[in-house]
Structure formats: C-alpha cells, structure tokens
Structure 1
Amino acid sequence: MAMRQPVVTIAHALVLCTIILVAHPLEPSAAMSIAVRTLDGSGNNARHPDWGSASTQYLRVGHPRYADGVAAMVGGPPARYVSDRVFNDVGQNLFSENGVTQWAWAWGQFMDHDFGLRDETPAESAAIPFDALDPLEEFTNDFGAIGFHRTPAAPGTGVRSPRQQINTISSFIDGSGVYGVGDARLEWLRTGSANGDLADNSALLMLTGDGYLPRADARGDPSTAPPMDLMGALVATPDKAVVAGDVRANENIALTALHTLFAREHDRIVALLPTWLTNEERFQIARRVVGAELQYITYTQFLPSVGVRLEPYHGYDAR
C-alpha cells in the first residue's frame, strides 16, 4: 500500500533514461551494467531476500478459519448456490458505479496473474454440489457436481498448525506474467536457441510474423514448450495454445490480448535501444521498463479508477 509514489518515480525515471540513452548514446566503453531484478522475486528486500519470492507461503491479512482450527473446510451453502446469486444479472444491465469499462476486470486479472498462482497440484477432492432445479441455474451438468480439488498444504502446515498455501510465482508486480519466474520458460520465450543457455538468446521476445504470441508448436515439438493451462477446445489441441510468462494466458481473449500487448511492448523498447549494447543489456532494460509500466498503470490509473485511494508514501520500510 505504501509503494505508490516510488513506483511512479521509478517508472518515469526508467522511461526517461531509456529515451536519453537512445537520443544521446554513450560510447560503448562507457556502458555500465544495470542492476537486474531476479525472475523469482528473491532479493527484493535485502534484509529478507526470500520475502515475496516464488514458492513461498502466501501472507495472510487475517487469521485462518478452519472448522477444526487446522485444516478442515468450514461448512456452509454450496459455492455454486452462492455464486448464482452473487452474479445473477437476469433481466438487468449492470454498469460500473465508477464508469470503468470491461478493461477494468481484464487488467485486474492480468495483475492478479502477475503476483499470485497457487500450487495447482490437486489435493483432496471437494466437489461442489450442482442443483439442476435451482431457479437461478442456467447451465447443465450431467454429473450433479462440479469437480474441485483443494490446494495442497504448504510443507509443515495443516497437521499441528493451521494449513497454509504456497504462491508459485513472485508476489510483486514485476512482469512475471510476461517473462515467467524461471530460466527455462524465459529462454523458450526469447528468440534464439532453446539450449539451456540464455547467453545466446537475443533481446527480443518471440512473436509470430504478424506480432502474436507463439503457440506451443512454434519451436517444432510442442512437448518441449513450457506448460500452459488448457481449457475448452485447447484440451484437444494443446499444440495450439499460446505460450506466455504465465500459464493462464489462454483463459480468455482479453487476457491473451494483454499478454500480447506487453510482449510487443518489450520488443518495441528493444528496437529503440542502441545496438552496441549487448543482447542481455537490451533485454534487461526493456524488461525493467515493462515492469515499471505495469506498476505505473496499476497505481496511478487502475486502482484510482475502481475507487482505491492509497496513503501517501513515507519511505521504504525494510523491516
């Protein structure tokens, strides 16, 4: 909550520095290496380098509530019954009270996917009852239930201490949805050989000839592509799924469009940078600017548009 002002400043400074670098290039001998943000979010806090990094526990803003105080789910009305009523819009048109467009939820989902992804390994089954006779139910389900599995408990939790969950990506707005949180996915996404050595990749992200995200078969064998969540027709044709930094990029067309937009933005920035910089330097500068743009849009445009007003920034708290 206290990050708004520095995020804006960093975004402006990075874009301005990039413009200055392009307009008034230094001699190659004067080039300096830049600090590089880790892919997995580690090292963001110097005193606590693991805070917010991939594969660490989610932080809670409240105490966990389990039926037995440790792991059992709390009872209540079926989730489908609740959602049918919360999202019921039969016979009415619902408009944003803040006058925002559909891009509000699209950006919210894009950002949600940039800093949160549970461990998707299925744990205990907790199928959701489906009542075909519910007057608000508009769908058909031949099984009488919606398949659902709980998220696995974080190691060392859920037995003697309250069950916790793991976030498999970084907890920061850092562009992980564009670049991923590991070297293998990033190498596949960058143009160049996918041979386990990032040093021989170019500064560009791989796009099709007409500027779209690569599909799983872009490098020939789709089985070697980074895994992506599949839904709908893609379950039968997984080689046609687009590949991005986050596994959920195929969930809907608005989300896919945003992934495409910022992959293009990365390559646009790379094209503006002087060619005497190394491929890695150009890649990291573009990645840094893209991350700053995501932060800037979120804190100065998205959050205010949905009515969120943050407290003024009073300095970084490293505790």
Structure 2
Amino acid sequence: MENQLKITTPKAAHRESAMIIVVLLCTLYHKTALAHDLQCPNGSACVHPQRCILLMEQAALKSIFPEKHIHQAKPCTVSVTLEDGICCQTGGDIESSNDVVFDETSPSGLPPRRRVTADDSTDKDSLPFSFSANYDAINHSPRIHKRAMSDYEQLLRINGTNHEIYTHFDVRNKRCIVGPRCRDEPPRYRRFDGRCNNIGPGRSLWGSAGYPMERVLPPAYGDRVASPRTLSRSGMLLPSARKISAHLFDDVHVPDMQLNVLMMQFGLFIVHDITKNKPAAEKVDCCIHGGQHTSFQSHPACFPINVSINDPFYSRFGVRCMEFLRTATVPKSHCQAGHARQISAVTHFIDGSGIYGSSEAESHSLRSHVGGRLKSLVHHQFKNELPPLEPATSACRTSADMGSEMTGLNPHWNDETLFQETRRIIGAELQHIVFNEYLPKVIGPHFIKKYKLNVSKGHSSVYNSEINPSITSEFSSAAFRFGHSTVPSRLELPRSVVDTHKTFFDPSPMRNPEFLDHLFQGILSQPMQKVDGKFSHSITWFLNSREGHRFGKDLVSINIQRGRDHAVQPYNQYLRLSGKPMKRNFKEFDSNSGSKLHHLYDSPDDVDLYVGGILEHPI
C-alpha cells in the first residue's frame, strides 16, 4: 500500500492517511456501483448482453417460433467496464448438476427435469458434447431458467402428453418438414430448389434449399436448445471474435507458388453454390450510429460482434459494434423439437444454383425467356453484351455462350428446352471440375483415394441413395472458409494493380469490353496466398464497405461468430473425433500462435474450430 500510494508522511500519519484513502475509494466505488444498480429494476442486474441467458433463450425461441412475443430488455451501463449492458433478472444460487431445475409441479404441467449430463442415457444427437461450463447465477439460476423454458415447453405441448425435455418432444404438425411426393422416376432436369433429387421415401428434401444443415458433432448451444455458444469452460465470456481476428491474424504476403488466384476464386464460387446461411431476419440493424453502439431494441436475431475501444483499426472510426445476424433455424428433425438446426438458403448440391437460382421464382427473375438465355445488358457506348451485374458474372457469360451454341445445334428447341439443357450441362461441368481438378489440389491424392472421391474415367454414375448429401454446420461455418486466407490484397491485372476490396460489389469495370479478359489473364498468372493464419486487410478491414465509410466488415470475425452462432464444438473436440491428440496447453500450438492464443482464451478447450483449423499446417 505504501509503495502504491507514494505517501511520504510520518509512519502514524501515513497509516491514517492510507486508511482514509482506502475508505474513500471503497465508498466512491460503492456509490458508483449503487448508481448503476439503480438503473435496473429490483431483482435484476446490469450485465453484458451475452451474459444474460434468459434474453438469449427468448431470442432463440423467437427465431424458431416467430409468433412468440419477446420482452425488450432495458439498456444500462456495466459499472466495472463502463460498457453497454442490459438489465438481466437474477435468481438464486447455482444448483448442482443433479439438482432438479423445476419444482415438482411446473407451470407447464411437465414432470420435473434434471440437468442432463454426458453420461445420461439420452439421444446423443440432441445433447452438447460437453457440459463442463460453470454458469453463474445470472446465467442459469433456477427461477430464470424455469421461466424461460416453461414458455418453450408450452409451445411443445400437445393433447396433454408429457415428455422429458432434451430427450423427446411432442410432434407439432404445424411445423413439420414434409417433403413433396416425387415421381417414380427422376426427371431429366433437376428442380431449382433441389427437391426430389432423391426420390426415396422421406428423402425428397435432402439437400434442398431451405433444408437444415447436418452435424458432425452435436451442438454446444448455451441453453442446449438454440442460443449461441458464448461462454468458456470456466463460465466466462469467450473473447470477442473481432479481438481474436485483430490480435491473432496478420496481413502478411505469403504467395502459394503452385496455385493461382483462379483456384481461390473458383473455390469462393463453389462455396456460394452449395452453402448460404439463411438470415433469421431481413433488413435489421443490430448496431446504431454507424456501429458506435449496440441497438438494445434490436431484433432477437441480432448477435452483433463486440469491437474493443482499443481496436487497432476500428477505434479510429469509433466503431464498437459490427453487424451480425443469426442463421434461421428449424427444430431438429421429424417434426420433433430438439436442438435447433440452421437453414441453408441455397441447394446443398453442386448444381449451378449460384447462376440459375435456388427457386422457380428466382430463376424466373434471372431469365430473359428468349432463346434459353439469361438476362443481359447492352452497353449504350461500347455496344457489348454484359451479363447481369451479379457475383456469378463469368459463369453467366459461359452459360450465355453455351446457350448460343446449343441454339445453333438444335434450332428446333424452344426457350425452355434450350435453357434446361444448358443448365444441365453447366451443372455437370461444375461437378467435373470440382472432383477432377479442384478437390485433388485441396485435400491431396491420398484423401481423394481414401474416401473414394476419384473419378477415374472423368465421370461417374456411382450413386448411393442412403447417403444424405446435406452440408454440415461445421463445413459451412468453418471448414470450407479456409479459402478466405488465400485472398490476395491486390489483383495484378495486365495493365494495372487494383486493391482487392475496391472490386467488391463494383461492377463498373465491366463496361470496358476488355476488362473480363484482362481479369482472367491476371488471376491465371498471379499466385494465390497460402492457406495459413494470414489474412488480407481487404477482408479484415474493408469487406463490403458502405458508401461514404472508410471501413467495412471483418470477414474473419464473421467466420468465428458464425461458428458460435451454429454452436459448433471447440477445436479440441474435432481433434478427438479424428483420433488426433487434443491440445492440452497452448504450447502445443506453434510458438507464435500459442502465446497469442494464451492471451485470448482461458483454455485450449475454448479455441474455436475455425481458429484452430486455419492455424493447422496444410496437407
């Protein structure tokens, strides 16, 4: 105390002064804390929004049951950190893992429920893989948990039949996922939405647009039903996704001398062809005042990314909040309400849906309905034909060229036949490129052979109707996002060098009839970046920047947050699943990233799947 206070009075006076200062400091702190507590009604406390599980459980219910009313939380300021918070109702002490959470007679009429542990004899698909987190009284007090979950149970009751939650649920026919009746023989042309690709009973929806993603491991939902993964094993908040991105991943030029930028670009095209998270809401702002604050009256689908006041980049612009919407969800399966599963907005198949759309209506809006062609534009000055100004521009051009060729070969075909035949061939070409050229370079010949992905004759008719082709949450939110590290900071074109972020959503160069050819010349000769923990600032600072803003979003932060939105298990659990040693301490990562991870996470068991995966050495 003496060294800290630097008081240079005689000994007795020194002790007296020190005690007075301590008392004054304690009194000041007590008054400050009391003032902040007075912001909230009795029975509640001001906490960080992600520490109020009641609010998150209600938000999760809202995403599954839109008709459910959600009470708005009162904003406040957390006294210790002076950060934006909410008034969250508090409860009693934490119960042990074997205590009854509900009273003997719950308001819903259901029997009392005991907390489920990994050792319970239950449906493992509906349970998280680990229940080691110790939640505090605000998170999981009996009273708050009872109130939140009783609403959920009321929605699941039918005809007074009782079942124990987390293990079996009543059928709610209103929300059943029932597939269409399919023809006995598959049609010549795929449906746009991917339905009836498998005509087997109960399989017609597999892999279709709007069908939920599958799981490699059970989810780690905070409430075991639908709320995102936000807490570490110790019960503390996980580090902000933006903090991880800013302090762990650098922008360092490390070219891959074997693969070019076209490899990167094709991979990103395929990503959007087979997976797209359907947002739980449209046109919703989770941040206000240009990202300076979190909106406390935001939609329950909001799961914004917190940005530190000391962020090395965004602090220059006063940004404290980054927009993020959760993925829309449906109950587990077979019309039984288990844990939520995320919905894909596009088909799960490699079928060119990024060009032709994933629904009849979307396809109709893209077609010209003349000669089997897609819509196009004619530049008033250069008189060149331009494809629709969408991300799939080059593929649209390929489709247009093929459509013209098909017309010459089959002049008797009508618009519909020309369109469908062209679409059928384009889809087959994409599949051929993926399995014959792209995948072997991504995972290597050993795994191509091990998992029988090789197509020895250039094509294959092998088909197994028992296999569900649906994308998994782990693949969508983590594994297939490795390509983001291969994006270069600049595109080296034949006559110019362009910052990559300046090409995002800017179709104006397409007016130049030579631009597309120059673009392909450049990406064919320029090396892509290596798959590693290095990311271009084009995607960590300037992703999709709004007009008038000198900053954009951070794609790496979004990737990490998406994994938590899907409640994907931590990295270590997938190491265990694959038979590899789990990381017991941070020293088992490489020396550079290990020390950084140690300062970000409480434990190696908390490391996000995307983070651990991208730090691995490529195959």
TM-score, normalised with respect to structure 1: 0.66
SS class of match (1:258) = helix
Is the CA contact (8 Å cut-off) linking 2:246 and 2:311 kept in structure 1?
Answer: no
Q: Which runs of 5+ in 2 are unaligned?
A: 1-186, 231-237, 282-299, 379-383, 454-459, 467-619
Q: CA deviation at 1:155?
A: 4.8
Partner residue, 2:221? 66
Q: CA deviation at 1:256?
A: 4.4
Distance 1:285 1:46 in 2: 21
Q: Alpha carbons of 1:154 and 1:170: their partners in 2 closer, same or farther (altered >3 Å)?
A: same
Distance 1:52 1:266 in 2: 27
1:163 paired residue among 340, 348, 355: 340
Partner residue, 2:195? 42
Distance 2:244 2:211 in 1: 31
Q: Alpha carbons of 1:139 and 1:265: their partners in 2 closer, same or farther (altered >3 Å)?
A: farther
Distance 1:108 1:299 in 2: 12
1:94 paired residue among 234, 251, 254: 254
Q: CA deviation at 1:60?
A: 1.6
Is the CA contact (8 Å cut-off) linking 1:117 and 1:169 kept in structure 2?
Answer: yes
Distance 1:269 1:126 in 2: 48
Partner residue, 1:206? 375
Q: Alpha carbons of 1:179 and 1:256: their partners in 2 closer, same or farther (altered >3 Å)?
A: closer
1:294 paired residue among 430, 440, 443: 430
SS class of match (2:341) = coil
Partner residue, 2:153? none
Q: With CA pairs under 8 Å and 6+ residues apart, which has the higher RCO, 1 or 2?
A: 1
Q: CA deviation at 1:152?
A: 2.6
Q: Alpha carbons of 1:60 and 1:261: their partners in 2 closer, same or farther (altered >3 Å)?
A: farther
Aligned 1:107-122 pairs, distance under 5 A:
107-122=266-281
Partner residue, 1:181? 358
Q: CA deviation at 1:191?
A: 1.7
1:264 paired residue among 400, 425, 428: 400
Amino acid at match of 2:318: D
Amino acid at match of 2:339: P
Amino acid at match of 1:83: S
Q: Deviations over 1:242-299 (max 9, x none)?
A: 3xxxxxx4xxxxx444344434344344344310123222221111110011111111
Matched, 1:147 2:306: no
SS class of match (1:307) = helix
Is the CA contact (8 Å cut-off) linking 1:205 and 1:266 kept in structure 2?
Answer: no
Amino acid at match of 1:145: C
Partner residue, 2:304? 127
Distance 1:306 1:168 in 2: 25
Partner residue, 1:232? none
Distance 1:182 1:148 in 2: 25
Is the CA contact (8 Å cut-off) linking 2:403 and 2:418 kept in structure 1?
Answer: no
Is the CA contact (8 Å cut-off) linking 2:303 and 2:324 kept in structure 1?
Answer: yes
- Identify which range, 264-273 or 125-134, moves more after superposition: 264-273
Is the CA contact (8 Å cut-off) linking 2:304 and 2:324 kept in structure 1?
Answer: yes
Distance 1:286 1:140 in 2: 50
Matched, 1:285 2:421: yes
Is the CA contact (8 Å cut-off) linking 1:132 and 1:141 kept in structure 2?
Answer: no
Q: CA deviation at 1:79?
A: 0.7
Partner residue, 2:242? 80
Is the CA contact (8 Å cut-off) linking 1:206 and 1:213 kept in structure 2?
Answer: yes
Matched, 1:106 2:261: no
Amino acid at match of 1:173: I
Q: Deviations over 1:124-175 (max 9, x none)?
A: 322211124244x367442411122212322578x96212111122110011
Distance 1:162 1:190 in 2: 39
Distance 1:160 1:187 in 2: 35
SS class of match (1:302) = helix
Distance 2:318 2:275 in 1: 32
Q: Alpha carbons of 1:153 and 1:187: their partners in 2 closer, same or farther (altered >3 Å)?
A: closer
2:452 paired residue among 300, 308, 312: 312
Q: Deviations over 1:54-111 (max 9, x none)?
A: 111111222111123222222211111122245412xx32122x72122222211211
SS class of match (1:150) = coil
Q: Alpha carbons of 1:152 and 1:274: their partners in 2 closer, same or farther (altered >3 Å)?
A: closer
Distance 1:142 1:134 in 2: 9
- Identify which range, 143-152 or 163-172, moves more after superposition: 143-152
Q: Alpha carbons of 1:87 and 1:106: their partners in 2 closer, same or farther (altered >3 Å)?
A: farther
Q: Alpha carbons of 1:85 and 1:296: their partners in 2 closer, same or farther (altered >3 Å)?
A: farther
Q: Deviations over 1:2-39 (max 9, x none)?
A: xxxxxxxxxxxxxxxxxxxxxxxxxxxxxxxx811111
Is the CA contact (8 Å cut-off) linking 1:178 and 1:262 kept in structure 2?
Answer: no
Q: CA deviation at 1:188?
A: 2.5
Distance 1:312 1:58 in 2: 23
What's the RMSD between the two structures over aligned residues? 2.6
Amino acid at match of 2:361: A
Q: Alpha carbons of 1:288 and 1:174: their partners in 2 closer, same or farther (altered >3 Å)?
A: same
Higher Cα Rg, which structure: 2
Distance 1:259 1:77 in 2: 40
1:55 paired residue among 196, 210, 217: 210
Distance 1:258 1:79 in 2: 33
Distance 1:132 1:103 in 2: 38
Is the CA contact (8 Å cut-off) linking 2:346 and 2:358 kept in structure 1?
Answer: yes
Partner residue, 1:223? none
